[in-house]
Amino acid sequence: MLQSFLPTLSQVEYFSRVIIMGLKSLVSSLLLAAPLTVAHPGHVEEVHAHAALPPERKSLNHCEQEFNAPEFVERTVEIHGRELANLRRALGLEVER
């Protein structure tokens, strides 16, 4: 009588496989969902002060006088020249002196 209530070996193997597959499915689902929760934590982005300015203040037209100053232009040309020389050197091109 007790023998009829006990599962057979094939039933035990079947249920163990079902449980293992369910656990594998659960773990893989959690691993796939983890990057989504890390990538979108739900934080509030801060608003920077310049974003609230009207469009005419966002432009740099009010700095035109400073940008056209001879010292600024000379410094800018020097910096860009150094960067150009570094890039030419990195590419193996001839660097003008």
Which burial class, exposed, middle or buried, applies to 24 when counting CB atoms under 10 A from its CB (0-12, 13-18, 19+)?
exposed
Tell whether the model's pLDDT for residue 94 goes beyond 80. Answer: yes
For residue 81, name the pLDDT band (cuts at 50, 70, 90). very high
Helix spans in the chain (H): 9-39, 55-58, 64-67, 70-91
Q: Say how far apart CA 80 and CA 75 lie, in whole Å.
A: 9
For residue 57, name the pLDDT band (cuts at 50, 70, 90). low
Q: Say how far apart CA 1 and CA 4 lie, in whole Å.
A: 6
pTM, full prediction = 0.37
Give the pLDDT of residue 30: 85
For the chain, the domains span 1-41, 59-97
